[in-house]
Structure formats: structure tokens, C-alpha cells
Amino acid sequence: MKLSNKQATLLVLALLIAITPFFFPSSYYYRVGSLIFVNGIAVTGMVILIGYAGQISLGHAGFAGIGAYTCALAPVHLGLHPGLALVLGAVISAAMAWLIGRPILRLKGYYLGVATLGFGILVSMVLANERDITRGPDGIEVPDLGLRGLLKDMGLNLNNSEFWYGFTGLALLLGAWLALNLFNSPTGRALRALHGSEIAARTVGVDVARLKLQAFVISAVYASVSGSLLALQNKFITPDVAGYMHSIEMVTMAVLGGAGSVLGAIFGAGILTMLPQVLTVFAEYEQLMLGLVMMLVMIFMREGLLPSVLRLIRGRGE
């Protein structure tokens, strides 16, 4: 039986998540793994926005900030369970994305980039300056999700990093499944159509403004969930989660890995999360090497790492 692209992607992802722990030299790598998955979730949202719909955002860390701080604040001020706080964060992010998306998605290209950048900076400024609520730039502690304790009672005893590796891995699989469903659905086709030619999409009846807004809201929810999971995992969060560096990172991971494919973008998240750890052998030249790698990939592999490599392999096979 021939696997569809969706099945193949999910299978590869599930196998990677399940098998790599057997090769971990120390439990520290569970932590690196779950960081990759958390970034992978945000980046999967970017695939929907950038890869499918062809729109750019340089401010999506703002939504990650909303997700993260909702998990920190809602349990304390509203008495909400941290898990429900994650959901609330996603709802707030979706509402914010819907509100700001309506005016700014009329912009195109770098105008849209700058407008979204502004939104991200706004969120991180609010988080850093509203000390009475957020405790400012030093950060704030986040309550425990409590799920690990629950699993322990049920007889599944995992240490903290193992639990988060598994939990964020499953969340990433769910996120990838949704994004892959979307790709081949009527909505996904309409998004890719407006990416290809906005005017032609409109003439076949695509309500371009509405579709762009949908993609923007969905990707904001992904970023928000990613921020929430980061906060819950670290049990501590600072306004940096909403900072523009984090926004740029999301876009870079997606584009470097291949913004057109879910697996490619997650691969990009993996590379850019791990590379700084690997490049420490270059000591003070670490950042220099990182920049160089990024430039070389973009010059020689414009579709992104994974799609280019796959094309190369297929080309050899024929």
C-alpha cells in the first residue's frame, strides 16, 4: 500500500519521537527534545501562515507570550487549572489575532512584516512593564500542570523531563495532524490558491480577506499553545518569550527547514534548536557559524533544507 504524504509525515514524526530516546546519552537530551517539539508546534503554525497562505508575520511570539503568561496568571488570579489556562490563552490569542488581523492583513509583503513586528513588540513591552501583574522583566513562576502526578497515581512513573518529552511530542503530533488535514482540504486549497495568485483566487470565489484571517488566527493559536507548553514545562517564564528575537526564530526555523512542508519546518525547528548546542565546539565563533549556516542554506537551498535534500535524493534515484 502506498502511503499518502500525510500518513508518511505522521509516521516519520511518530517514529522519530518514539525511537530517538533510545540513543540519548543522558536525560538532558529529553529536555532538548521537548524544546524542539515546543518550537515545532509554533513553527507548524507558521507553515500554515507562510507556507500555505503566503503571508508573513514577524510578531507571532506575541501570541506565544499571551499563551505563556495566561498559564502563569490565570491559575493565580482566576483559580483556573493550568491546563484550562492553556485553552484560555489560545482563545485570547485567537481573539487578538482576529482583531488585529482584520486591519493589518490588508497589507502585503514587508508592510505586513513591519506591522506584525509592531504587535509582537507591543506584547513584550506590556509584559515587561506591567510589573504589578507580570512582575516585569525578571519573569514569573508558572504553576505545575499536575498531569505527571496524575499519571504517577495511575501507575506510570515518569521523571520530569521524560514526561515533558512525551507530552510535547504528542502535542506536536496532534498539531502536525491538524495542519496536514488542512493542507489537502478545501480551505487549505483556497489558502494555497491565494498564495499562488490572489487575483485568480478571488475570481474562483475565494474570500481572500476571510481566508487570510483564518490562517492568521490558526497560526496564532499554534504559537499560543507553544508558549503555554514552554511556560508549563519550565515552570517559569520571562517576557523574552514574546520578544522579537523569538518571532524571528519562528520564521527562520520554518523557512530554513522548508516553509512549504510540515515535516520540513519541524526539521528546521530541530536544526536551529540543536545547532547552538552542537556549535559550542566553535566556542566564541558559535554565532558566526550559525549565521553562516543560515546564509548558505538560503543561497543554495531556497525551498528549505528538507525539501531540497529530498529532491536531491529523488533526482539521484531516477
Residues that bind other proteins (CB under 8 A): 178, 181-182, 184-190, 192-193, 195-197, 199-208, 214, 218, 260
Q: Give min distance, CB of 211 to other proteins, in A.
A: 9
By C-beta, is 36 or 206 nearer to other proteins? 206
Q: Containing H/E element for 222?
A: helix 208-234
Q: Give the other-Cβ count within 10 Å of 5's Cβ.
A: 13
Minimum distance of other proteins from residue 209's CB (angstroms) = 9
Closest CB 208 distance from other proteins, rounded Å? 7
Q: Which is nearer to other proteins, 26 or 203 (CB)?
A: 203
Question: For residues 214 and 273, which CB has a smaller minimum distance to other proteins in the complex?
Answer: 214
Least distance between other proteins and beta carbon 199 (Å): 6
* Comparison of 78 and 204: residue with beta carbon closer to other proteins: 204
Does an H or E element contain 215, and which? helix 208-234
Minimum CB distance to other proteins, residue 121 (Å): 29
How far apart, in whole angstroms, are the C-alpha atoms of residue 295 and residue 256?
Answer: 9
Pairwise CA distance, residues 144 & 104, whole Å:
36
Judged by CB, which is closer to other proteins: 172, or 241? 172
Inter-helix orientation angle 160-183/262-278, to 10°: 150
The DSSP secondary-structure symbol of 133 reads: H
The dihedral through the CA atoms of 129, 63, 277, 275 has a sign that is: negative
- Please tell me the distance from the alpha carbon of residue 91 to that of residue 95, in angstroms, as a whole number: 6
* Residue type at position 230: L
Cα separation, 266 vs 65, in Å, equals: 20
Residue 225 Cβ, how far from other proteins at the closest point, in Å?
Answer: 14
* CB closer to other proteins out of 187 and 308: 187
Q: In angstroms, give the least distance from the CB of 287 to other proteins.
A: 34
For residues 166 and 249, the answer to whether their CB atoms sit within 8 Å is no
Q: Among residues 162 and 303, whose Cβ is nearest to other proteins?
A: 303
For the record, the C-alpha cell of 270 comes out as: 530541530
